């Protein structure tokens, strides 16, 4: 009996917990996950070529039915889409994870309400201090907070889960940045629907 080949998902590390939860909860065993470091959020220009390297390594293995990318543009200025077009690989629709968690309609509504919105997901709430306060050097140079966030009015927490601890961390993040706090439950949004569509392929594959 021929074992069906899996679909490879190349994702931002900030999505790893959510992707693995969706795979487990829905028994989407035909999907395999590989992640790039989540701290590339602060170095988006590195994303395109690192994704390309993952794609080419996977193609060399020649064991996947298809390769898909779970990144938005994520600040690459279109460079990621250029790489994906060259490699003939599809990615999840959306400019960033905020849009595909919230779905485009809700995200547009939130942006229209206040253009100066800074967004957190569950991952970013959990690691806010490491990625934002330490990652941007605000802990060492407090004056940077006003430089980075001068044009923001509010912090919008796009919550994938009902986790009281994460809610408190998100509220604390808003206080540290002196921003109004907004809590918006999104669940997994477009990430779930995209993965569901890709899970309908060959018979389930098991690692």
Burial letters for 161-181: b for 16+ Cβ neighbours within 10 Å, e otherwise? Answer: eeeeebbebbeebbebbebeb
Distance CA 4, CA 201 (A): 9
Q: Going by C-beta distance under 8 Å and a sequence separation of 6 or more, which residues neighbour residue 1?
A: none
Q: How many helices (H) and strands (E) does the chain have?
A: 10, 7
Q: Quick one: tokens of 170? A: 């998100």
Q: Which segment of 1-10, 125-134, 141-150, 161-170 scores lowest on mean pLDDT?
A: 1-10
Q: Going by C-beta distance under 8 Å and a sequence separation of 6 or more, which residues neighbour residue 174?
A: 154, 155, 157, 180, 181
pLDDT in tens, 38-67: 989 889 999 999 999 999 999 999 999 999
Label residue 13 by pLDDT band (50, 70, 90). very high
State the DSSP H helix or E strand holding residue 156, giving kind and residue range, or none if neither: strand 154-159
Give the pLDDT score at 206: 33
pLDDT in tens, 59-90: 999 999 999 999 999 999 999 999 999 999 99
Give the pLDDT score at 205: 34
Distance CA 51, CA 136 (A): 23
pLDDT at 168 over 60: yes
Distance CA 145, CA 137 (A): 9
pLDDT at 107 over 50: yes
Give the pLDDT score at 126: 97
Give the pLDDT score at 203: 37
Distance CA 161, CA 190 (A): 15
Q: What is the rounded average pLDDT for all residues in the chain?
A: 92
Q: Going by C-beta distance under 8 Å and a sequence separation of 6 or more, which residues neighbour residue 127?
A: 38
Q: What is the DSSP string of 16-78?
A: HHHHHHHHHHHT-TTEEEEEE-GGGGG-GGGHHHHHHHHHHHHHHHT--SEEEEE---TTSTT
């Amino acid at each position: 009996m021929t074992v069906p080949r899996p679909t490879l998902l190349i994702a931002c590390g900030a999505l790893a917990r959510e992707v693995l939860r969706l795979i487990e909860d829905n028994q989407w065993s035909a999907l395999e996950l590989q992640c790039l470091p989540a701290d590339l959020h602060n170095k988006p220009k590195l994303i395109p070529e690192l994704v390309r390297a993952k794609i080419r390594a996977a193609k060399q293995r020649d064991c996947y039915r298809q390769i898909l990318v779970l990144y938005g543009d994520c600040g690459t200025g279109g460079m990621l889409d250029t790489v994906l077009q060259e490699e003939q690989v599809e990615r999840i629709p959306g400019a960033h994870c905020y849009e595909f968690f919230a779905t485009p309609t809700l995200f547009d509504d939130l942006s229209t309400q206040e253009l100066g919105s800074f967004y957190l997901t569950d991952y970013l709430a959990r690691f806010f201090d490491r990625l934002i306060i330490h990652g941007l050097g605000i802990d060492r140079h407090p004056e940077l907070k006003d430089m980075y966030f001068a044009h923001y009015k509010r912090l919008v927490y796009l919550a994938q889960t009902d986790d009281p601890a994460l809610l408190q961390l998100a509220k604390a993040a808003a206080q540290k940045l002196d921003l109004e706090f907004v809590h918006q439950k999104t669940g997994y949004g477009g990430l779930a629907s995209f993965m569901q569509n890709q899970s309908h392929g060959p018979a389930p594959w098991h690692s």
